[in-house]
Chain A
Amino acid sequence: MADFMQQVVVGLSSGSIYASLALALVLIHRATGVINFAQGEMATFSTYIAWTLTTNHGWSYWPAFAATLILSFAGGVAIHQGVIRPNEKGSVLRVVIVTIGLLLAINGLVTLIWSGEVRAVQSPFPTRTIDIGGVAISIQDIGTIGVVFATVVVLWLLFQYTKVGLAMRAAAVNPAEARLVGVRVAWMLSLGWGLAAVLGAISGMLAAPSVFLDPNLMAALLIYAFAAAVLGGIDSPIGAVVGGLVLGVGLNLLGTYVDFVGADLRLPGALLVILVVLLVKPSGIFGKTEVKRV
C-alpha cells in the first residue's frame, strides 16, 4: 500500500507537469481554435534561458525562475504579435502550419545557441524523501506539485477576478462581441500567448531536473500534454489540470504494476488515450459538446 501511494505521488508530480503544458495548449486553443505545436519548443527555449542564468551567470534558482517567466511571457506576446497575428486572417490550418514551422525554427535555434549537448539541470528542491504516514515521498515531487498548484490558483484568480482576465475570457468566447464593448481582442490573444508561454516555461523548468536538458526536452512531454488536454476536454482549463493528473497517475501506475508496459510503453499509452478519447468522447471529460453558432 505504501508503495502504491508512493507511485501515486510520483504520478501526480509528472502529471502536474503535463497539466501545466496542457493548460498552455488549452489557453491558446480556447482563444484561437488552434493547437500550438510549438508550445513544447517554446518551453525548451525558456528552460535553456533558466539554465544559462543559473549555470553561466551564477544566478540562484528562484530569481532565475522568475526572470525566465517574465522573458517567456514577453516572448509569447512577441510570437503572437509578430508571427501568428499576421496569419490569423487566413484559415485555421494556416496558423497550425505556422506553429509547426515555429516548432522547427525554435528547435533549430536552441541547437544553434546551446548546441545539442545534454545538460544537467539543478533542482530547486532537495531530492531526499520525507516520511508521511509510512509513505516515502520525495520533496522534489511535492515541490513540483506545489508550484503547478500555485500557478493554477493564480491563473484562476486572474481569470475570475480581474478586469483583464474577464476581457481575455470575453475575447476567447466571443471576439466580435468583445470588440463592441471596447476590448482590444488582438492584444488579449497576445496576453493569452504570453501566459501560455509562462505555463510552458514552468513545465519545462520542473521537468528538466529529472530528465536532463537537451533540445528535445519537450518532444515527448508535448504528446503527454496533448493527451491530457484531449482527455480533459481541449477547451476546458479544469479539464487540462485533471486530465494531466489522471494521465500522470494512470501511466505511472501502469508502468509500475503492469509488467509489459514498463517505462517504454508510456508514450504509446498516451497516444492510445488520445485515440480512444477522440473516438469515444471527442469533447473529453469536462468539454461541452460543440454547438455550432449561426
Chain B
Amino acid sequence: MSSGDVLLRLDGVEARYGPVQALRGISLEVPEGAVVAVLGANGAGKTTTLRAVSGTVRRSGTIQFAGKALHGGPEAVARAGIAHVPEGRGTFTELTVVENLRLGAYTRRERSLDADIDRVSKWFPWIPDRAHQPAGTLSGGEQQMLAVARALMARPRLLMLDEPSLGLAPMIVREIFRIVRELNEREGLTVLVVEQDARIALQSADTAYVLEVGRVALAGPSDELRENESVRRSYLGY
C-alpha cells in the first residue's frame, strides 16, 4: 500500500513490430512498494509495454528504473533487478521444478539457494513435494505459480506479471492475485501486472492504467476506476 519514490518510469515509450506500431508514446509510473495494473483490450499494447521494459522488443523513449536509464536486452534488465514473468506460463517445461527455481536465481551469486527455495515454498507449499518433477507435468495454475516463484528467486525489486489469469480457472486466478497482494504487503514487493481481467486486477492494484491502441487512455487509483460506471462500461467491459 505504501507508495514511496518512483521505481519505474516510462516516458513517451514507443515500440514497433516491423511495420506495426504497438506503442505510441506510453508514459506511466510505478511507485516503489505499489501494485500497478495495466489494463486494456487485446492488442492495446499491454504485453508490449512489459516487453519494452525488459528489452525484448525494440523501443524508443525513456525508461528509468531506480533513477537510472534502463538500457540493453533482457539479460541486462534481469541483472538490474526486474523479474519478468511472460505471458503463457514462464516456465521451462522440460526442466524440473527445482531447476526452474535455480534458474530464477541465475543472476545471483550465492552458492546455496536452499534458504531462498524455503522462502518461496512458504508461498507455494506444494513446491517441495514436486521439486523433481518436470515443470511441464504441473497443472496450468501450478505452472503459473512456479513462474512467479521462479521470479521471486531473483529477489527482484520489480516483478512484472503478464496476464497471470490466462487460461486459468477463476478460483486459481483469485489465489494467484491473493498471493501477489500478500507478497506486496508483507515483503514490500513492487508489482507491475498486465491483465485483461480488469475486475480482479482492480481489486489487487493500487493504481491502474488503461491502454487503448498503444496509448494511455485513462489512469488513476484503482478504487476510483472501479467506482466510475462509465469508465467501467466503456473501457473495462464489465
Contacts of B48-104 to chain A: CB distance below 8 A: 54, 56, 73-75, 78-79, 83-84, 86, 90-95, 99, 102-104
Instruction: Tell me if A60 is interfacial: C-beta within 8 Å of chain B.
Output: no
Given the complex of chains A and B, what is the CA–CA distance between A176 and B56 in angstroms?
9
Q: Chain A 135-176 against B: per-residue CB contact (8 Å), 1 yes, 0 no?
A: 000000000000000000000000000010011011001101
Partner of A182, one of B56, B78, B102: B78
Q: A170-B92, A179-B56, A185-B75 are in contact. List 9 more A-B contacts (CB 8 A).
A: A163-B102, A167-B106, A169-B95, A173-B92, A173-B94, A173-B95, A176-B56, A176-B86, A182-B107
- Give the residues in chain A near B73, CB-CB below 8 Å: 179
**Residues of chain B contacted by A169 (CB below 8 angstroms):** 94-95, 99
Please tell me if B215 contacts chain A, counting CB pairs below 8 Å. no
Chain A residues closer than 8 Å to B95, beta-carbon distance: 166, 169-170, 173
Task: Give which listed residue, B75, B78, B93, B103, contacts A166 with CB less than 8 A.
Answer: B103
For chain A, what secondary structure do more than half of its interface residues adopt (helix, strand, loop), or is it mixed?
helix
B residues within 8 A CB of A174? Answer: 92-93
Would you call B154 an interface residue if the criterion is a C-beta within 8 Å of the partner chain's C-beta atoms?
Answer: yes
Cβ contact within 8 Å between A166 and B102:
yes
CB of B97, distance to nearest CB on chain A (Å) = 13
Say yes or no for A281: interface residue by CB 8 A criterion. no
Complex Cα spacing A181 to B74, Å? 8
Instruction: Name the distance in Å between B232's Cβ and chain A's nearest Cβ.
Output: 32
User: How many angstroms from the CA of A173 to the CA of B94 in the assembled complex?
Assistant: 7
Expressed in whole angstroms, the Cα–Cα distance for A179 and B104 within the complex equals 11
A178 within 8 A of B: yes
Residues of B within 8 A of A184 (CB): 75
Q: Say yes or no: A177 contacts B78, CB within 8 Å.
A: no
Q: Is the CB of A180 within 8 A of B92?
A: no
Residues of B within 8 A of A177 (CB): 86, 90-92
Decide: B99 and A181 in contact? CB cutoff 8 A. no
What is the number of residues of chain B that contact chain A, defined by CB distance less than 8 Å?
24
- B106's contact among A173, A176, A183, by CB below 8 Å, is which? A183
| Closest residue on chain A to residue B105 by CB atoms | A181
Contact between A179 and B75 (Cβ–Cβ < 8 Å)? yes
Contact of B150 with A by CB under 8 A: yes
Interface size class of A (residues with CB under 8 A): 10 to 19
User: What are 29 A-B pairs with beta-carbon distances under 8 A?
Assistant: A163-B106, A166-B99, A166-B103, A169-B94, A170-B92, A170-B103, A173-B92, A177-B90, A177-B92, A179-B56, A179-B74, A179-B75, A180-B56, A180-B74, A180-B78, A180-B84, A180-B90, A181-B106, A181-B107, A181-B150, A181-B154, A182-B74, A182-B75, A182-B78, A182-B154, A183-B75, A183-B106, A184-B75, A185-B75
- Which residues does chain B contribute within 8 Å of A185, judged by CB atoms? 75
Chain A nearest Cβ from B176, distance in angstroms: 19
Q: Which A residue sits closest to B111, measured CB to CB?
A: A163
Q: Name which residue of chain A comes closest to B73, CB basis.
A: A179
Given A173-B94, A173-B95, CB of A181 within 8 Å of CB of B103: yes
Contacts of B86 in A (CB 8 A): 176-177, 180
Q: Give A181 to B78 CA distance when docked, in angstroms.
A: 6
Closest chain B residue to A185, Cβ basis: B75
Closest 5 CB pairs of A and B: A182-B78, A182-B107, A179-B74, A173-B94, A181-B106
Distance in Å from the Cβ of A114 to the closest Cβ of chain B?
Answer: 41
Residues of B with C-beta under 8 A to A182: 74-75, 78-79, 106-107, 154
A161 to chain B minimum Cβ distance, whole angstroms, is 10
CB neighbours (8 Å) of A163 from chain B are 102, 106
Q: For residues 163 through 220 of chain A, which have their beta carbon under 8 Å from a beta carbon of chain B?
A: 163, 166-167, 169-170, 173-174, 176-185
Nearest chain B CB to A172 CB, angstrom units: 9
Chain A residues contacting B104 (CB-CB under 8 Å) are 181
Could you tell me the distance between the alpha carbons of A173 and B91 in the complex, rounded to whole angstroms?
Answer: 11
Chain B residue contacts of A176, Cβ below 8 A: 56, 86
Q: How far is the CA of A166 from the CA of B95 in the complex (A)?
A: 9
How far, in Å, is B117 (CB) from chain A's closest CB? 14
Q: Which residues of A contact B74 (CB under 8 A)?
A: 179-180, 182
Q: How far is the CB of A49 from chain B (nearest CB, A)?
A: 34
Minimal Cβ-Cβ distance residue in A for B84? A180
**Which residue in chain B gives the minimum CB-CB distance to A167?**
B106
A167 touches B75 (CB 8 A): no
Contacts of B79 in A (CB 8 A): 182
A170 to B91, CA, bound (A): 10
Q: A7: shortest Cβ distance to chain B, in Å?
A: 38
